[in-house]
Amino acid sequence: MMIYKYWESVTREDLEFAVGGGAGGAYGEMHKLSRDNVGTAQAGGAPGGSGSGVASGRGGIRSDGRKRDTTRLNAAQLSLAAVAQASGSCWLSGPTAVLAGVKVSIGNSSSPAGPAGRAAAAADAETDAMGVGESDAFGGGGRVVCTVECAPALLPQMDPRAVEDMCVDYANFVTKLLNSGSNGLDLRALAIVPNAALGWVVHVDALVLSYAGNLLDTIVMAVRGALCNTLIPKVSVEESPALFGAGMDYEFDMADEETEPLVGCDDIPVVVTLFKIGNYCVIDPNPLEESCSDVQLTVAVTRSGVPCAIQKRGNGSLEPSLLAEMLRDARKHAVRLFALMDDAISRERLRLANME
């Protein structure tokens, strides 16, 4: 598309037409239509048509030819076991490429002490306020810790400090989601010593390799794939009375070859972010569309189709009717994402099994 050549000259109204109009394509064609034609096209091809949500159809053509509810992701872009040294890994090689790696270690399943522990406790309180429920694993299971890294050079339009803050924000969101009661993972199965705060700590690192929009959704998909590829060593525990004081001492025997997958990894929620531009919303936007969006709604949806976490970003507002429609659209798109990822993960697991 030639639209990127005119980045500085494309106006907000032009992009709104490209999102909601019926001829969205070349930049020059946008100026050939009158305001009445633009209004008709945004309404879906006929005056008085419905223009809210992520509705597709004759009028839902974007600047790159996609409909408003069409994603650029396909099953061939997902590769498991991309990092041999990791406990699990996934490479998502789409327009926005993300490499996610997993390392597991034995540690305290509750929040650590010190400033990091206070930050984690504050995050847990915020999670409870969001309605994402506190993890059942704390105090008797395991936990997941996520970090996100992105080189500022990948987003030259943003200040380096803003890129760092964005990575922290995304990492906190994913960490809260994976430690919530609706995360799909059975974190209690990560317990090594029952009824004790000692278990597996799953460290997930997401590295952004290229950026072309829709970063948070891509990160969650890569993390989800990496967790589905994660294998944890089997551990046998021997208890003995403590030599000093009350309590018990524990000795661990970790198997070298015997491993087991994470329980419930296939039920980890998917995340759908809807970007509002004018009176319309798009899924999987490119950077130009993101720059014209004044509000974004991120929805995490479980396999059963229930939204388990919602987060709004941006300074814009959402009408209640539009919010309800965005939630419905997020649930519809989540069904397609689950099917796409299930197909990709099954294909990769078969490929890895044939290599053994």
- In degrees rounded to 5, what are phi and psi of residue 89? -155, 160
Q: Which residue ranges of the chain lie beneath pLDDT 70?
A: 1-60, 109-140, 194-196, 240, 242-250
3-state secondary structure of 120: helix
Element (H, E) at 240: strand 231-241
Give the number of C-alpha atoms closer than 13 A to the C-alpha of residue 235, restricted to the C-beta side.
20
Distance CA 264, CA 259 (A): 16
Beta bridge partners of 296: 275, 313
Exposure class string for 271-309: b at 16+ Cβ within 10 A, else e: bbbbbbbbebbbbbbbbbbbebbebbbbbbbbeeeebbb
Of the candidates 28, 29, 26, the residue with the CA atom closest to the CA atom of residue 65: 26
Residue 216: helix, strand or coil by DSSP? helix
State which H helix or E strand residue 164 sits in: helix 160-178
For position 248, what pLDDT does the model report? Answer: 66
What whole-number distance in Å separates Cα of residue 172 and Cα of residue 219?
A: 12
Give me the helices (H) in 187-237, please. 215-228
Q: Which two tokens stand for residue 60?
A: 């839902």
Q: How far is CA 137 from CA 28, 258, 323, in A?
A: 57, 24, 32
Spatial distance between the Cα atoms of 191 and 211, rounded to a whole number of angstroms: 37
What per-residue confidence (pLDDT) applies to 60? 66
Residues 134, 124 contacting (CB under 8 angstroms): yes
Q: What is the pTM of this model?
A: 0.76
